[in-house]
Amino acid sequence: MPRPQRSRITGEDGSQRTLASGQDAYDCIAMPEAKTAATGVLVLGLGPVPADVIAIVERLMAGRGPCARDNENTTDTAPGCTDRDIPRGHHTRLAHHTETSSASPKATAPRQTALTAGDAPTLPTDDGDRAATASTARITYIECDAFAAAMPPAWHTAIPGHWRRAHPDDLQTLLRHVGHVVTFRQAARLFPSFWGPMLGRVMAARIAPRTPQRCSRTVILPGTERSLLLPEIEAALIDEGYTPLRVAPDDLNTRLPRILADERPTMLLSVNLQGLDAAGERFRLLQACGVPVALWCVDNPWHLLSALRTPWWRETLLCVTDASFIPALRAHGAQHVLHLPLAASPHHFAPVEVNAQCPPAAYDDTSGTPLQTILFVGRSGFPDKARFFAGCRVADDDLAAARDLLDAADAPRQPDFHWWTERQGLTRLWPDKAVRTAGYGAESCALLRRIRYLETACDAGLTVVGDAAWRDHLPCLHDLRPPVDYYGTLPRLYRQARLTLNVTSLLLPAGLTQRHFDVWMAGGFCITDATPGLDIFPKRLAAEVSMPHPSALPALCRRLEDAPTLRDDLAAAWRTCITEAHTYSHRLRTLFAALDALGKT
């Protein structure tokens, strides 16, 4: 027997999708009023076969219990979602596309149907001059115009005449008068801009339907004790008078609804999408509860956003450490983008006194032997690099052209991420994952470039603290040491080294790394490639410690070694600059000011 043909539809993102059918394609959500006199049912999305949802609603109205997928514990559990699709910190220190093709998902005026006999007068409402009738409290549905327009005539005639179509603006009133909400599960994937906010309000109504939350100075920080930047941000929040609340991503499903039922936090701040699911359900819940969400992309934002399936990120306060990404992010629909560079943490990297019995020149927590003239600390590649770039390839001609740029001391630009997107003709950077191929090209060139700097540094004497793969990349290297504790040992190494070399990843064309801040704060001396990201610092200071090409490294080292007074003056000026304008407290003040400007706090 041949399988029945299934309906297909063009979703908001322009892709064709096959529609699910059957009663198991729906979720049934019991509202707080379900145990009171309220017996109405609200349907959010009818699905391709109205008979399926009609059967579910009839069972509910007959009092035979909710549908099979009802989750009776939803008040204690946020929408089911995981973080496994979101890539984690690519330690280069470490988004979109305007919707096209399909009809607009925006709803127009509601379809009105005749009221059935016995309908009661209007129910109270505070939504302007709108009023919900008693039939609304019986069976009401909301549908996306784009979905309805794609359905055949038989679909429209199959909708019961006594079902009343409501406008999305009536949702808040409807939720106060229904016992159950039935949702077509696939709807949120098809037209997320239409359904996402509504589903968030449904979940918010389950958490605290009538209890006003008190505002607090709590900032939710998804992450664990090993998460990127959380210790620095927590310390800075306390300095600024806020209460950081660290929540492990795996615990957010249960803890987030309880937090939101008790208080209204100042915001949720996520570093590299930690704790936020790919479908945006947690964001929609926070949005419905009036809690702003800030995403701080400290790595390449397009790499991070390539894991997301719906465009909810466009409505967050999107913070990037590299300002060169901002124009494209706005062109792809990001509504609020903020340049928020990395910074220093005085709590973790301020100079510490070395044991008086062990002079700084000989003190070393890694091997007991003195450091070479130049210190480099870093990995040869970010964690899970092979998995993230699985299947990515670049043409040999493109790689050859990139190598030519790396070789030329006077090259007009570097083969960075932007160069690779242009070379491949990429204009749509989201939601397609093709953007990762551009990232693969940039990361390949970044490794080659880093190797060239380190090969040059070997002639002056180089210590590398990093992974064992550096031995294969640098046959000339004689002093390779294993990774050290970031907060315990690393500040001391920076202080002891004569010069600490930084080479910025080409994944961040105008970015900075933690070394640009940590080395100076720790009392060390940082020399760096001339990344455009240095423009946040005074020009004179940046010019004194940067080089445009590896070939310029020897001359820079000689100049600093031959002029110890200049070196000391520069170190003092840099530390003053960092302390007075570039700590994580400064960044948080910028972030809160941006939220205030948006009217979200």
Side chain identity at 71, as an amino acid letter? N
pLDDT number for residue 213: 64
pLDDT in tens, 412-452: 999 999 999 999 999 999 998 899 999 999 999 999 999 99
pLDDT tens profile 158-209: 999 999 999 999 999 999 889 999 999 999 999 999 999 999 999 999 886 5
For each of the domains in the chain, give its residue range(s) and CATH number, in order of start. Answer: 8-207 (no CATH), 214-342 (3.40.50.2300), 346-582 (3.40.50.2000)
| Contact between 260 and 285 (Cβ < 8 Å) | yes
User: Percentage of residues in the chain with pLDDT exceeding 70?
Assistant: 82
DSSP 8-state symbol, 397: H
| pLDDT tens readout for residues 40-53 | 899 999 999 999 99
The full 3-state SS of 329-346, as one line of letters, equals HHHCCCCEEEECCCCECH
Say which residue, 100 or 544, is predicted with more confidence.
544
- Rounded Cα distance between 490 and 496, Å, is 10
Predicted confidence at residue 176, as pLDDT, reads 87
Note the pLDDT tens digit of each residue in 333-387. 999 999 999 999 999 998 754 333 334 443 445 557 899 999 999 999 988 999 9
Residue with tokens 């198991």: 24
- What is the model's pLDDT at position 4? 52
Identify the residue whose tokens are 């551009």: 438
Exposure string over 186-218, b if 16+ CB within 10 A, otherwise e? bbbbbbbbbbbbbbbbbbbbbbbeeeebeeeeb
Model pLDDT, residue 351: 73
Please report the sign of the dihedral spanned by the C-alpha atoms of residue 56, residue 62, residue 66, residue 72: positive
What SS3 state is found at 44?
strand
Q: What is the pLDDT of residue 84?
A: 36
Distance CA 313, CA 291 (A): 15
Reply yes or no on whether the pLDDT at 129 is more than 70.
no
Alpha helices by DSSP H, 429-514: 435-458, 470-473, 490-496
CA dihedral 418, 421, 425, 431 (to 10 degrees): -120
